[in-house]
Amino acid sequence: EPEVTQTPSHQVTQMGQEVILRCVPISNHLYFYWYRQILGQKVEFLVSFYNNEISEKSEIFDDQFSVERPDGSNFTLKIRSTKLEDSAMYFCASQRLAGGREQFFGPGTRLTVL
């Protein structure tokens, strides 16, 4: 069964460093998302992406964040200058069609900022 994959599973970085989190969505899906979950807290929406552009972004998704779909398969989240408070699980999700259809989540990347 097709699934969303994410790399790396765990990333440790120093504050102020840039990180790139990678996702490979399910191949025939058209809508892509990044969510994050700080330990012990709820899952929060960061950004949605469709047709090679951002559809919507949350207040969390400030100028330090960017997303890209550099080729037909990868979907990346870049944090330019990491802060301690960026430590969280980052989940990529993909959705085949709009209309409130189901989103499938990848296994996540645990980001630890020291």
Q: According to the binding rule CB under 8 A, does residue 45 interact with another protein?
A: yes
What minimum distance in Å lies between the beta carbon of 63 and another protein?
20
User: 93 near 33, Cβ under 8 Å?
Assistant: yes
User: 62 near 83, Cβ under 8 Å?
Assistant: no
Give the one residue of 1, 14, 28, 42 binding another protein; rule: CB under 8 A.
42
Phi, psi of 86 (to 5 degrees): -80, -10
Give the one residue of 13, 22, 44, 69 binding another protein; rule: CB under 8 A.
44
Instruction: Considering only residues 6 through 35, tell me which ones interact with another protein, judged by CB under 8 A.
Output: 31, 33, 35
